[in-house]
Each structure stands twice: as structure tokens, then as C-alpha cells.
Amino acid sequence: QWSDSNGVRCDTFDCDVTENGSGDYNYTFTCTDPYGLSSSSIVTVTVEPEVNEAPTADAGDDESYEISHDGDPDTDSITFTLTGSGSDVDGDPLSYSWTDSGENERCTTATCDVTENGADSYSYTLSVTDPYDATASDDVVVIVEQEPNTAPTAYAGPDTSYVIAHD
């Protein structure tokens, strides 16, 4: 019979066993002859962890945008799209997370529409995770240029002279 720390597994020489997870598993095989004499032997089966390679992440190239001139200096928002990708050589399904420099999650998809206010340099991180919690990250910088504005041209007309009439 075969047994382990959970008790008897089976009463035959061949014994199918299912274990969950990697580790060392000890089994004792005990054989008893018709006269009641027995002998036991212990075998250790080592189950290696499943091989899993981490995914890769690509947040795309750094980008630059300009706030559109709309005639209102108080509106300075701009919306742009972050386009990233991930891959996994094991073919595992992937989850995505875009975060900004303040660690705020912006999206949970590979493509993310973002609205920012004001000209500045904005940093974002794309994290790609597989079901085994292996994660890869990549950063992208988006530079937002201020709204263009050309100074107006003032024209008061041609120089003119006037004569004041004498009274």
C-alpha cells in the first residue's frame, strides 16, 4: 500500500496521485507478505514549479502635443491617447494598467485616452501582468506645449495733422 502524511493513498503497487503545487512530496510504500511480515520504503517526489516567463511591456514612443488655439486663454486642456502593448511568450492572457507619475491608475487597457490641463511634461507607466503575477513595465513621456498665440497688431491709421481754427 502507498501512504503519505494524509494517510493511505491506495492498496495497489501502481498508484496515481494528484498533488497541487510545487514542492517535495514523500510517499511510503509498504508491502506485507501472507505471514504478516512487512517492509517499507520511502520515496520523495519533487515537483518543480511551473516555468513562467515574465511578459514584456511597450508604452510606445515619447510624444509631444500642442494645446489647440481656441481664443480662450482659460481653456488649456488637451486629450491624447496612450497606446501600449504587451506580449507573453507563454501565451498567457495579460492585464494592463496605466498609471501617472502620482501613481494614479488611469486605465486598465492597452490603449488609454488621457485628458490633462496645462502645458507640462507628463509621465506614464504601462504595467503588464500575467496570471502568475509576473509583471513588466515601461514608461512614456508626453510633452504638452502651451497654446500658440501671436501678439495682435495695432494700427491706428496714418499720421494726420489738424489745424485748429482761430476764433
Report mean pLDDT in 10-residue bins for the chain, 167 residues: 86 87 92 92 92 96 94 90 97 97 96 96 98 97 94 90 85
User: CA 90, 96, 99 angle in degrees (round to 5)?
Assistant: 140
For the entire predicted model, the pTM comes to: 0.70
State residue 1's pLDDT score. 87
Task: Choose among 134, 122, 125: nearest CA to 79.
Answer: 122
Q: Tell me, what's the pLDDT at 108? A: 98
Q: Quote the pLDDT of residue 66.
A: 94
pLDDT at 9: 87
Residue from 15, 132, 2, 114 nearest 63 by CA: 114
One-letter amino acid identity for 50? Answer: E
Instruction: Map 66-84 to HEC letters.
Output: ECCCCCCCCCCEEEEEEEC
Answer yes or no: are the C-beta atoms of 102 and 26 closer than 8 Å.
no
Angle at 76 between CA 70 and CA 82, to 5 degrees: 110
Can you give the pLDDT at residue 125? 98
**Cα distance between the two ends of the chain:** 137
pLDDT at 145: 95
